[in-house]
Amino acid sequence: MILGDYDLLPSETLLSDSIFHGVHIQRSGDAVCIKLTSSQREIEFLREFRTAEPMKSAIVASRAFGQVIFKHETCYAIVMERDIKDLRSKFAAIEANEAMLTKFGCALDMILALQSLHDHGVVHGNICLQNAVLQSERTKLLDFTHSTKRNLPLLAHAKATIEYCPPEMAQFIVHGGESPPAKASYDVVVILKLFSPGQKISQFENKDEAWVVHSIASDSFSFDLSIQDTV
């Protein structure tokens, strides 16, 4: 038992290295997924917003969360519904020009979900295809480790999703100074990757992390070339 009536199953991870298959210990057919996180910020976000209207339709439903001891380390566990699949995985094997209506619907859901966060004064901080998931035929947001109240300093962008890094954060990484304030702006990269062949941004192909960050930080940078490659 890891949290309340829920336990991890010894199987492959579901969405990422931190999200596992789980089950209700008294109802073996009640499958869930369980995220392990060290982020108290994410727990505080869920505590404040998971039952708030209309945020409930914007974020992945969670049944329970709390502090646990896992392999002699203290962390937090978040129990979520099992029927979720991130957009990167869902469309990975689909050609760019296929499932267009489904993709447009996902993009619209994602924008509305972000708008719900922004209406509550919250910036997600790490919007990417991996953190946009389908649940009950609707696209919702996941992973609030980097979520910040508007105008408070952003956390450093996650290296694993550096190509989604907003310009103000890229400039901070390259030039230093004070961490930029969180702003309610939509990330065009998410939409661009959703409709790009192979979910790849052509300008970033075969480029290392440092090159990507310096490019985004440039005042003259734009995604025009990658956008042209999608049409």
Q: What is the dihedral of CA 21, 27, 28, 33, to 10 degrees?
A: -10
- At position 217, the amino acid (one-letter code) is A
**Which residue do the tokens 């109240």 mark?**
149
20-30 per-position pLDDT tens digit: 888 898 887 78
**Considering the entire predicted model, what is its pTM?**
0.82
Neighbours of 15 (CB within 10 A): 20
Phi–psi pair at 124, nearest 5 degrees: -60, -50
Q: Domains in the chain, please, with CATH?
A: 2-81 (3.30.200.20), 85-229 (1.10.510.10)
132-144 per-position pLDDT tens digit: 998 888 899 999 9
Q: For residues 33 and 188, what is the distance between their CA atoms, to the nearest angstrom? A: 29
- At position 207, the amino acid (one-letter code) is K
> Are 123 and 150 contacting, i.e. CB atoms less than 8 angstroms apart?
yes
105-123 per-position pLDDT tens digit: 999 999 999 889 988 988 8
